[in-house]
Each structure stands twice: as structure tokens, then as C-alpha cells.
């Protein structure tokens, strides 16, 4: 099959490789190069880098609207367009071009967590499981019928980073299964998404990373996991702003003001929350690197043994 692939971040790379396995990828669409790093140099997306390594033609339009963009896509004569975390909404005129329409690999169990940050929102909400859906695209935001899906449990130790990597691999597997069925001439039965259970995974905002000790410890622990490795949770701890890379909720009845240090030792720093306590286990000082709390306390002798 002649396939056009559209994707941008690292999450989409395994799906590009799956699409490339037994098909002809005639072009790859990705976001324009963006400034990145301390030097703010223009940097190619992970999908562009992978595409160029495999010898694919790469297109980087600012938008997929207008006569020129549509004519370029039509000239490719695609049987199918595969979209994975591309970053642009596709107008109906684009959806209508490929013979089999456009497929999307989405990192949630639709209709839960439509939108930009489904992986992190699932962890933050305390969901027990998530997964990936292969969806036939419509004009709406992640509203199309689901063709295939796979689930995976969200483990207590999962972070945004670990779940991202697992779902990227799972998404590539689901896509490969769908392509195999299509090549074999088999119909993928579309399952219309129910109206019940629709939630939206709004884009992550760095302002959300600030922990509020007036919240339950369980909710804060889920936020810490969800926001690792980006944007990384942060909080004021004993007069110092720290980034929190790892933490565990403790079911402690303490009767102390939220934000108070209940204990500080090699096991962690226990902070009073509205319900329970949050044990900080890995932190980062301003200008420093992430370190275990035991190492952090070597520089905070005023905290060692607090609450003991």
C-alpha cells in the first residue's frame, strides 16, 4: 500500500517503523523544525530524523490547508494516511484524499482522554488502566470510530515517561495488526465511540506542576508520577523550592498543617497533606541535578531527623 505518515514526537517513531515494514511510505509529514536546547538552534523532530535515516521524502508545512498543500498530498496518491501525534488537525479535505481515509494511533482508551496529553492525564487521575486505539479519523478531535484497541494496566510505579514508552510500542503493534488485516482484504469493523465517558486530556501546563499541600497525598503522588519527566512537579519544602522526581503517598493521620515536615531521614522527607503525607524520595535543587533525598539531606543538616 502507498502510505503517507504524519507524526512529530518520539512517541510516533515506532509507528513509523511499523508502517514502513511491509508498505511503501511515499512521504512523511512532520512539524517544521523548532528551536530547542540551550542554544535554541532549529532542531528536526524525532520523526523527521527517523524518516531521513530511512530515505523518506519529508514535508513540513505549517498547516494542511490551501490549494498547494492539498495538491501535494493528492499527487502522492496515498491508499492510507497514518497520523500519530502529528500536532495539526486535519481538515475534511485532507481526510477525503486517501483511498482508505486516515487512521490515527491514540494513546488512551477512547472516549476517555481525547486530546493532547492522554498519557499524563490517565496517571494523574489515578486510572487503573489505559491503552491505545487505532481510530478512523473524522473532523472532530479524536471522535472517530475505533478499529482496534489494546489495554495495559497502569502500575503504581509507572511515570509519564515509562507509560509513554510502553504505549508507543503498543501503538506500533496495534497499527501493524490493522495494516496486516487491511492488506489481507479484511474489513476492520468500526466501533462508534459512546457519548458516555468522554473526557479531555488538556495540554500540560508548567503552572500545573506546582504541588498544593492542601490536596490529598494520593493525588499529589499521582501528579508527581504523571509529570515525570516533564514538566516535573515542584513544591516549597522547608523554605526551599524543589523539583520532585519521585514521591509516595503515606496514609498517615498527623493533625499537622499541610506543608509541615513530619519526618526527614534516609527513607525520605514526609510532608503533611490535607489527607495523609507525601514522602519525597528524589528531588532536585535549583541549578542542580536530581538526587536521592538521602544525598539532599547531607546539605540540609537543619532537616535531618526532623519530626523523629
The answer for residues whose C-beta is within 8 angstroms of residue 254's C-beta and 6 or more apart is: 260, 262, 272, 277
DSSP string, 210-263: B--TTSBHHHHHHHHHHTTTTT-EEEEETTEEEEEEEEEEE-----PPTT-EEE
pLDDT in tens, 76-111: 999 999 999 999 989 999 999 999 999 999 999 999
Strands 277-284 and 290-292: antiparallel
The pLDDT assigned to 308 comes to 46
C-alpha grid cell, residue 210: 506546582
Annotated binding site for (6S)-5,6,7,8-tetrahydrofolate: 108-111
The pLDDT assigned to 57 comes to 97
The answer to whether 4 and 81 have CB atoms below 8 angstroms apart is yes
pLDDT in tens, 126-169: 999 999 999 999 999 999 999 999 999 999 999 999 999 999 99
Q: Is the pLDDT of residue 307 over 70?
A: no
Q: What is the CATH number of domain 206-298?
A: 3.10.25.10
* Fold annotation for 2-201: Rossmann fold (3.40.50)
301 CB neighbour count, 10 Å cutoff = 8
Annotated binding site: 108-111
Strands 290-292 and 24-29: unpaired
The pLDDT assigned to 304 comes to 72
User: Which residues of the chain form CATH 3.10.25.10?
Assistant: 206-298
User: Which residues of the chain form CATH 3.40.50.170?
Assistant: 2-201
Place of cell 481538515: 91
Amino acid at each position: 500500500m502507498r502510505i503517507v505518515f504524519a507524526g512529530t514526537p518520539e512517541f510516533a517513531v515506532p509507528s513509523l517503523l511499523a508502517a514502513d515494514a511491509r508498505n511503501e511510505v511515499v512521504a512523511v509529514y512532520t512539524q517544521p523544525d523548532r528551536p530547542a536546547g540551550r542554544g535554541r538552534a532549529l532542531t528536526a523532530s524525532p520523526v523527521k530524523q527517523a524518516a531521513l535515516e530511512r530515505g523518506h521524502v519529508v514535508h513540513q508545512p505549517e498547516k494542511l490547508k490551501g490549494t498547494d498543500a492539498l495538491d501535494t498530498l493528492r499527487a502522492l496518491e496515498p491508499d492510507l494516511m497514518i497520523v500519530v501525534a502529528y500536532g495539526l488537525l486535519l481538515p475534511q479535505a485532507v481526510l477525503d484524499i486517501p483511498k482508505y481515509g486516515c487512521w490515527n494511533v491514540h494513546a488512551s482508551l477512547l472516549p476517555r482522554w481525547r486530546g493532547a496529553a492522554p498519557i499524563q492525564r490517565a496517571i494523574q487521575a489515578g486510572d487503573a488502566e489505559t491503552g491505545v486505539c487505532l481510530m478512523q479519523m473524522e473532523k472532530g478531535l479524536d471522535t472517530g470510530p475505533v478499529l482496534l484497541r489494546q489495554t495495559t494496566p497502569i502500575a503504581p510505579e509507572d511515570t509519564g515517561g515509562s507509560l509513554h514508552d510502553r504505549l508507543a510500542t503498543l501503538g506500533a503493534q496495534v497499527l501493524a495488526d490493522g495494516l496486516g488485516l487491511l492488506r489481507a482484504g479484511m474489513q476492520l469493523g468500526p466501533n462508534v465511540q459512546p457519548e458516555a465517558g468522554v473526557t479531555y486530556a488538556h495540554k500540560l501546563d508548567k503552572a500545573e506542576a506546582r504541588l498544593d499541600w492542601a490536596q490529598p497525598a494520593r493525588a499529589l503522588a499521582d501528579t508527581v508520577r504523571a509529570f515525570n519527566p516533564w514538566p516535573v512537579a515542584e513544591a516549597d519544602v522547608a523554605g526551599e523550592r524543589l523539583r520532585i522526581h519521585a514521591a509516595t503517598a503515606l496514609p498517615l493521620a498527623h493533625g499537622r498543617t499541610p506543608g509541615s515536615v513530619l519526618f526527614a531521614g534516609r527513607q525520605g522527607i514526609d510532608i503533611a497533606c490535607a489527607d495523609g503525607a507525601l514522602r519525597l524520595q528524589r528531588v532536585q535543587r535549583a541549578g542542580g541535578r536530581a538526587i536521592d533525598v538521602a544525598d539532599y539531606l547531607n546539605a540540609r543538616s537543619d532537616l535531618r531527623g526532623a519530626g523523629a
